[in-house]
Amino acid sequence: MTGKPFPSVWLREPRKATSPGRSREEIVRAALELLDEEGLAGLSMRKLGAKLRAGATSLYWYVANKDELLELVYDEIWGEMTVPDHEEVGWRDAAAALAYSMRQVIVRHPWAAEFVGRLPALGPNALWVANELRKMFKAAGFTGLDTDYAIATLTAYVYGMTIPEIAWNKSTGGHVYDADEMRAAVAKAAAPFPEMLESVDMATYDDPKAVREIAFDFGLVSVLDGLERRLAT
C-alpha cells in the first residue's frame, strides 16, 4: 500500500496553474523548437535558458530536471495527431489513418524516435490517442484484453517501421546520396551474403522515399489483415 511512488511527471501536480512571467508552457514550447532544430543531443538546459533569455538554472523552478522536461515535450507531439472518426469511415480505415498520422508525427520530430526507448508515453495527449484507438478496436469487435493486444500490435508496427527509418535518415545526415554510389556501398557490405545482392539490383535506391511509403503500406495492410483474422475466430 505504501510502496514507492510511481515516478512520472504526470502523477504530480504542476508547480502552479499559471504564472505571470515565464511558464511551463513557454519552456516546453521553446524546448520543442530546439529539439526539432538540433535533435535530442542538441538540447541542453543552458541553450534552452539562453533561448528564453534566462539563466540555465532558472528553468529548474518550473521543472524538476531535464528528464521531466523531456516527458512534457514528448507528450506535446502526440497532440498533433489527426484522429479520424471511426463511425464515419469504419474502424479499419480509421486505424490506418491513425497509423499514418503517428508515423508523420515521428518523422516531423525525429528526436522522438530516440525517446521511445527511454520513457513510456503516459501524458494526457498520449492517453487520448490510446483511448481513440481503443474506441476504434472496440467498434471493430475486439473485447477484453484482446483490445489491448490489438492496439499494441498496430502501434508496435508503426513505431518499429518508423524508428529505424529515422535512424537511417540520421546516418545519411539528411544528405541524399547518389543511387549508384549507394548501390556500390551496399553491394560491398552485403558481399558475404549472396541472397541479399539481388535486392541491390532493384529500383530501391532510385527513389528511397517512394519505396518506404510502399513498404509502410504493405506492412500496414498485413497487420490489419492479421488483426481482422483475430475477429473471425
The Cα–Cα gap between 204 and 212 comes to 9
Identity of the residue, 62 or 216, whose beta carbon is nearer to its own copies in the bound complex: 216
To its own copies, the closest distance from the beta carbon of 128 in angstroms equals: 7
Integer angstrom CA distances of residue 67 from 4, 63, 108, 168: 19, 9, 21, 25
- Under the binding rule (CB under 7 A), the answer on residue 118 touching DNA is no
Identity of the residue, 44 or 82, whose beta carbon is nearer to DNA in the bound complex: 44
Identity of the residue, 61 or 218, whose beta carbon is nearer to DNA in the bound complex: 61
Identity of the residue, 33 or 228, whose beta carbon is nearer to its own copies in the bound complex: 228
To DNA, the closest distance from the beta carbon of 188 in angstroms equals: 25
- Under the binding rule (CB under 7 A), the answer on residue 19 touching DNA is yes
- Give the footprint of its own copies on residues 108-147 (CB under 8 A): 113-122, 124, 127-128, 130-131, 134-135, 138, 144-147
Q: Which does 127 bind (CB under 5 to 8 A by kind): its own copies, DNA, none?
A: its own copies
Closest CA to 164 of 110, 99, 86: 110
Alpha helices, DSSP H only, in the chain? 24-38, 45-51, 66-78, 86-89, 91-108, 111-115, 124-140, 145-171, 179-189, 194-200, 208-232
Residue type, 19: S
> Which three three-digit cell numbers place residue 128?
487520448
* Residue in 29, 33, 39, 66 binding DNA, rule: CB under 7 A: 66
Q: Which residue has the cell 540555465?
A: 56
C-beta separation of 154 from 95 below 8 A? yes
Q: Which does 113 bind (CB under 5 to 8 A by kind): its own copies, DNA, none?
A: its own copies
Q: Which does 175 bind (CB under 5 to 8 A by kind): DNA, its own copies, none?
A: its own copies
Radius of gyration of the chain (CA): 21
Task: Give the x-and-dash track for 21-60 against DNA (CB under 7 A).
Answer: xx--------------------xxxxx-x----xxxxx-x
> Which three three-digit cell numbers place residue 50?
539562453
- Under the binding rule (CB under 8 A), the answer on residue 101 touching its own copies is no
C-beta separation of 69 from 31 below 8 A? yes
Identity of the residue, 89 or 190, whose beta carbon is nearer to its own copies in the bound complex: 190
Report the interface residues with DNA, using CB under 7 A.
15-16, 19-22, 43-47, 49, 54-58, 60-62, 65-67
